[in-house]
């Protein structure tokens, strides 16, 4: 402290700190997510490690979410609820045990990370040591995004190449063309049959018959 400096009273110091916005920061709110494949498996291993990690980082655990089902399921109640709560701004960071406990695929992981980024929520995968709040974690996220884009581009190129090769072999894409004998249809109509009856008689959808006869 410099000589001659005035030391403010404790009340004055507290008020000044508050006014300048230097008051202590609130702990970050964390959501932890666990998943086990069957009801026979115990999620305690995952939960204990995630809770210890949050305690080490001095994060408050706002809520813990657990699903007991296959990772291939499109709908997971606990995960869906966590994502809904995240969109309401209830969490600052989401912590999972491992990528495959959270995401169904690389594309699902990427979409989720992109959404968390837009919401201002960090993502931590404990086993992969990924933390998007750090420069290294942000770099890993960029790499994952690049790999996913490469995967999509490769699949797209293979599909296009396969279609071109199939066309050269005479394969036609789209719905197969339905052959309609228009003269027979008109004769049946002249006999007074309804379009529905003609459709049943010929085994061709009614709308298809009408389009062909009006063409």
For the annotated catalytic residues, the residue numbers are 37
Query: Which segments within 37-126 are labelled E, that is strand?
Result: 60-68, 93-96, 122-125
| Residue carrying structure tokens 């052959």 | 179
From the CA atom positions of the chain, what is the Rg in Å? 31
DSSP 176: P
Structure token pair of residue 199: 């459709």
Whose tokens are 């389009």? That residue is 211
Q: Where are the beta strands (DSSP E) in the chain?
A: 29-36, 60-68, 93-96, 122-125, 130-131
């Amino acid at each position: 402290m410099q000589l001659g400096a005035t030391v403010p009273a404790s009340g004055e110091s507290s008020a000044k700190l508050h006014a300048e916005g230097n008051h202590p920061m609130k702990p970050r709110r964390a959501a932890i997510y666990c998943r086990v494949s069957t009801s026979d498996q115990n999620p305690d291993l995952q939960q204990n490690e995630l809770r210890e990690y949050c305690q080490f980082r001095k994060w408050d655990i706002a809520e813990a979410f657990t699903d007991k089902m296959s990772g291939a399921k499109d709908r997971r109640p606990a995960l869906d609820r966590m994502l809904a709560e995240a969109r309401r701004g209830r969490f600052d960071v989401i912590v999972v045990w491992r990528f495959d406990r959270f995401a169904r695929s690389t594309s699902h992981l990427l979409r989720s990370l992109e959404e968390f980024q837009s919401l201002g929520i960090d993502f931590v995968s404990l086993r992969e040591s990924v933390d998007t709040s750090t420069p290294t974690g942000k770099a890993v996220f960029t790499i994952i995004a690049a790999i996913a884009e490469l995967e999509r581009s490769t699949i797209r190129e293979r599909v296009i190449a396969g279609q071109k090769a199939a066309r050269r072999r005479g394969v036609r894409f789209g719905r197969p063309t339905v052959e309609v004998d228009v003269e027979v249809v008109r004769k049946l109509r002249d006999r007074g049959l309804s379009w529905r009856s003609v459709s049943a008689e010929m085994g061709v959808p009614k709308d298809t018959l009408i389009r062909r006869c009006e063409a």
